[in-house]
Amino acid sequence: MIACVRDTGNAALLDEVASGADNITVQQMDAGDPASIEAAAAAIGDAPIDVLINNAGAVGGQHQSLDDVDIEEWHRTLDINTIGPLLISRAFKSNLAASGDGKLMIVTSQLAASTWPMGGMYIYSTTKAGVSKVGQILALDWKEEPITVGLMHPGWVQTDMGGPHAEITAEESASGIRGVIAGMTKADSGSFYKWNGEIHPW
């Protein structure tokens, strides 16, 4: 298992987990930095990758209403939430294909869905909607490749972003996502899931 992290000097919990396991390697990679993505791909090399989870994301700051939207933050969040996952998918395409049954899961959000009736959050919602479309297009472009592409709403999770009053724990979300990935077949490529395995309406 390869765990990528933006700041290797500020990942004490990850280091703790990795130190107690022989099969976890920590690799520096910043999803918002194309040079960092390429460097990570070079460091990892051509080893087959069975599952790649594009999980890095940014909420987009505190100024996301129509009247005070932070344009500079919008550009930064676009790099992390939308462009970064595309570049990561491209950088590791050959590794996924080498697996023979590679699975790419892109973590998006229910706020990205046109069916979700919530205003505001212009930066977060649009950049997640963008990466959802990236996933759809990858599924089409990789139709002949041995790679299945999925999109995932992880739920409202008790993390630094979701806060302590969110609906589910990180462990519940991660367990659900693992189950969905394990059950995905090529026929499911391009599907948008909820963490519990249900299909999320677009």
pLDDT of residue 41: 98
pLDDT of residue 104: 98
pLDDT of residue 117: 84
Which band of pLDDT confidence, cut at 50, 70 and 90, is reported for residue 118?
confident
List, for residues 157-193, the tens digit of each pLDDT value.
888 777 888 888 999 999 999 999 999 999 999 999 9
pLDDT of residue 148: 98
**Per-residue CA distances from 29 to 10, 15, 34, 127, 146 (Å):** 13, 15, 9, 20, 25
pLDDT at 33 over 90: yes
**Per-residue CA distances from 85 to 15, 23, 139 (Å):** 24, 24, 14
| Nearest CA among 49, 45, 151 for reference residue 97 | 49
pLDDT of residue 11: 87
- Domains defined along the chain, listed by start: 48-194 (3.40.50.720)
pLDDT of residue 100: 97
Q: Is 53 exposed, middle or buried (0-12, 13-18, 19+ CB in 10 A)?
A: middle
